[in-house]
Chain A
Amino acid sequence: MIRFLLNRLLLIIPTFIGITIVAFAFVRVLPGDPILMIAGERSVSPERYQALLAQFGYDRPIWVQYWDYLSGIFQGDFGTSISTKRPVIRDFLTLFPATVELAFCATIFAVVLGIPAGIIAAVKRGTWFDQTLMGTALVGYSMPIFWLGLLLIIFFSGYLGWTPVSGRIDLLYFFPAVTGFMTIDSLLSGQDGAFVSALRHLILPTITLGTIPLAVIARQTRSAMLEVLGDDYVRTARAKGLSPGQVIGVHALRNALIPVVTTIGLQVGVMMAGAILTETIFSWPGIGKWMIDAISRRDYPVVQAGLLLIALIVMAVNLIVDVLYGLINPRIRHN
């Protein structure tokens, strides 16, 4: 088991180095001179230019600069935002919980609806229920989620007036951000209605972000389940006289869920991209909106660090899923 863990850890080292090289190269390939960008558009005297070049270390060989960048990352130095003048990592850590909260709810939404839907569709294969469900899943899979979010706002916020249009909580509530998760902080504050307000703000973004993962998980569960239901050990279980509930719930499901775990893990990357769109629509103050704002403000240190941090998070989640996959599937671990 330890060998398996070490093996997986070793495998991500090249990916890690690759990601840092891409993020490092990002600033170099930008059109224009990095010094002129920092100094502003006005002209700089040649002496001042040389001084700035030395100050930022751009006069050194490229591999020394890369090494510098890499050791900075290990010390938690991801650069300084041009617009807020604060360390990028501080802004990131302030905003990150909002994205985690949203992505977590979306994952729960997708898993809780997607897995049962996939199981029922597989068991009732070929019926109208199966066909309707898989048709719906294909629509969900093809959905432009930025449009779905707008439709939800038109219907639930505009027409019915049930849910708020944007933000994380009503402005009349004010309490300290202890954990950064609005649902937990609102409970801790003990203010009446704060928690409900936080939940109401979460509903539409959750549906928007969770729709594509929901469709993918339902489709994947169905096909994994169909594959398992045709296997010999399921037939054996049936032949032993176990009830259909036991066969499906115990024997088939446990094996069918193994590939589904990987699918759920892969959705994290999809969600990070989806968060960019969802947060933009709902003015959700997370890292997706932060990235878009940084791009439009040309705050390149933020874009660079955001690209790096999001890729590292996706990498870490994939590693965890990989390890989990080995834990629940001994056939992989011993290979």
Chain B
Amino acid sequence: MSNPVTVADPNAAPKISPLIQLREFWFYFSVNRGAVIGLVVFILLVLTAIFAHWIAPHSPIQQYRDALLVPPAWLEGGRPEFLLGTDAVGRDILSRLIHGSQYSMLIGTVVVVIALVTGIAVGLLAGYAGGWVDTLLMRIMDLILAFPSLLLALVLVAILGPGLINMMIAIALVLQPHFVRLTRSAVLGEMGKDYVTSARVAGAGHLRLMFKTILPNCLAPLIVQATLSFSSAILDAAALGFLGLGAQPPTPEWGTMLAEARQFILRAWWVVTLPGLAILITVLAINLVGDGLRDALDPKLKRS
């Protein structure tokens, strides 16, 4: 993945076209069958989220008062218009699950973007500046990591107040130290290399050195970490939703749906089983992709 072409010296190596790079990446990625399956499932989920409004047979918050806790269609007492049954107030579960995918994708994306951007900025600064700036920043990161992440997110949400946005901020904050550490160690590894020195000698400024010269060569581990953080964000968000601190009802967020369904577990298994299954499939698909990415982008790391 390392592409030693620098701005300072355009004659150093022939530029590898992105298409060839992509093809090479796909060659290694597609060897891993699980990763390809995970990617397909993930793409389907993204499409579901985008077209949720058109796919869902019912509105996710429409309450059908004549159809409370109707079992899935293939069971006795099931009704064909409610394929996966209805919940305690008569809302169609399939439609809620389809709309719920929007929240999971939104949460994953927003959390990863916040954690990635701040993490890269802080990590670049720490690795590039060194000295007391580095020590101070890394001490703060160690401190965040000293708390169990879900507990810290929980307490942060308790301070900020429950809700979707506060929850995303809290989760991004507890995930962000991983990006800082990765960026910093990658920067420290790259700093001493010849191409950085040559760029500096050629007169590149600090910002250019940080973002244009060094950063592109540290991307591989960050992409892997971003993928894995996407799935932990979804999982943590669902856990907070389940504890009543995430998205608030009647939002069809999967964890929140589970929390509402808890009291019916022994009467209506489908209300509990299906949202959890949706969470598991999503998280599993993303983790499969993450494992595949790690193998394809970072052959030195874990080739087992």
Interface: A147 (CB within 8 A): yes
Residues of chain A with a CB closer than 8 A to B266's CB:
153-154, 157-158, 165
Residues 21-55 of A contacting B (Cβ, < 8 Å) = 22, 26, 29-31
Interface: A83 (CB within 8 A): no
Q: Does the CB pair B146–A311 fall under 8 Å? A: yes
Residues of chain B with a CB closer than 8 A to A188's CB:
none
**Interchain CB contact (< 8 A) of B280 among A135, A147, A150, A274:** A147
Residues 280-302 of B contacting A (Cβ, < 8 Å) = 280, 283-284, 287-288, 291, 302
Q: Does the CB pair B139–A18 fall under 8 Å? A: yes
Interface: A151 (CB within 8 A): yes
Q: Which interface residue of B148, B255, B266, B269 has the most chain A CB atoms within 10 A?
A: B148
Q: Does the CB pair B158–A295 fall under 8 Å? A: yes
Residues of chain A with a CB closer than 8 A to B288's CB:
138
Q: Does the CB pair B243–A292 fall under 8 Å? A: yes
Q: A144-B283, A273-B148, A303-B155 are in contact. Are A150 and B161 (CB under 8 A)?
A: no
Interface: B142 (CB within 8 A): yes
**Interchain CB contact (< 8 A) of A146 among B242, B269, B284:** B242
Residues of chain B with a CB closer than 8 A to A151's CB:
272-273, 276
Q: Does the CB pair B143–A22 fall under 8 Å? A: yes
Chain A residue nearest to B275 (CB atoms) is A147
Q: Does the CB pair A31–B148 fall under 8 Å? A: no
Q: Does the CB pair A19–B258 fall under 8 Å? A: no
Q: Does the CB pair A291–B151 fall under 8 Å? A: yes
Q: A150-B262, A223-B302 are in contact. Are A310 and B142 (CB under 8 A)?
A: no
Interface range, A side: 35 or more
Interface: B4 (CB within 8 A): no
Interface of A is mostly: helix
Q: Mark B84-118, 1 if CB is under 8 A from A, else 0.
A: 00000000000000000000000000000000000
Residues of chain B with a CB closer than 8 A to A292's CB:
154, 243
Chain B contributes a number of interface residues (CB within 8 A of A) equal to 45
Interface: A314 (CB within 8 A): yes
Q: Does the CB pair B304–A15 fall under 8 Å? A: no
Chain B residue nearest to A294 (CB atoms) is B158
Q: Does the CB pair B276–A142 fall under 8 Å? A: no
Q: Does the CB pair A277–B265 fall under 8 Å? A: no
Q: A142-B231, A144-B235 are in contact. Are A26 and B159 (CB under 8 A)?
A: yes
Q: Does the CB pair B242–A277 fall under 8 Å? A: yes
Residues 218-277 of B contacting A (Cβ, < 8 Å) = 231, 235, 238-239, 242-245, 255, 258, 262, 265-266, 269, 272-273, 275-277
Interface: B150 (CB within 8 A): yes
Q: Does the CB pair B243–A277 fall under 8 Å? A: yes
Q: Does the CB pair A15–B142 fall under 8 Å? A: yes
Q: A138-B287, A295-B158 are in contact. Are A154 and B147 (CB under 8 A)?
A: no
Chain B residue nearest to A222 (CB atoms) is B304
Residues of chain B with a CB closer than 8 A to A226's CB:
304
Residues 125-153 of B contacting A (Cβ, < 8 Å) = 139-140, 142-143, 146-152
A251 to chain B, nearest CB (A): 19
Residues of chain A with a CB closer than 8 A to B258's CB:
146-147, 150
Determine the distance from Cα of A165 to Cα of B265 in the docked complex, in whole angstroms: 11
**Interchain CB contact (< 8 A) of B146 among A157, A222, A227, A314:** A314
**Interchain CB contact (< 8 A) of A276 among B150, B231, B284:** B150
Interface: B214 (CB within 8 A): no
**Interchain CB contact (< 8 A) of B239 among A18, A146, A154, A315:** A146
Q: Does the CB pair A276–B146 fall under 8 Å? A: no
Determine the distance from Cα of A79 to Cα of B235 in the docked complex, in whole angstroms: 33
Interface: A14 (CB within 8 A): yes
Chain A residue nearest to B262 (CB atoms) is A150
Chain B residue nearest to A292 (CB atoms) is B243
Q: Does the CB pair B243–A19 fall under 8 Å? A: no
Residues 261-294 of A contacting B (Cβ, < 8 Å) = 269-270, 272-274, 276-277, 280, 291-292
22 contacts between A and B (CB under 8 A): A15-B146, A18-B146, A26-B155, A141-B287, A144-B276, A144-B280, A146-B255, A147-B276, A147-B280, A153-B266, A154-B272, A158-B266, A269-B148, A270-B148, A276-B151, A276-B154, A291-B151, A291-B154, A295-B154, A296-B244, A311-B151, A315-B146
| Other A-B pairs beyond A18-B146, A26-B155, 18, CB < 8 Å | A18-B139, A31-B159, A138-B284, A138-B287, A141-B287, A142-B287, A146-B238, A146-B255, A151-B276, A154-B265, A158-B265, A223-B304, A226-B304, A273-B148, A277-B243, A307-B147, A307-B152, A315-B146
Minimum-distance CB pairs A-B, first 8: A147-B276, A273-B150, A18-B143, A273-B148, A142-B283, A142-B284, A269-B148, A158-B266
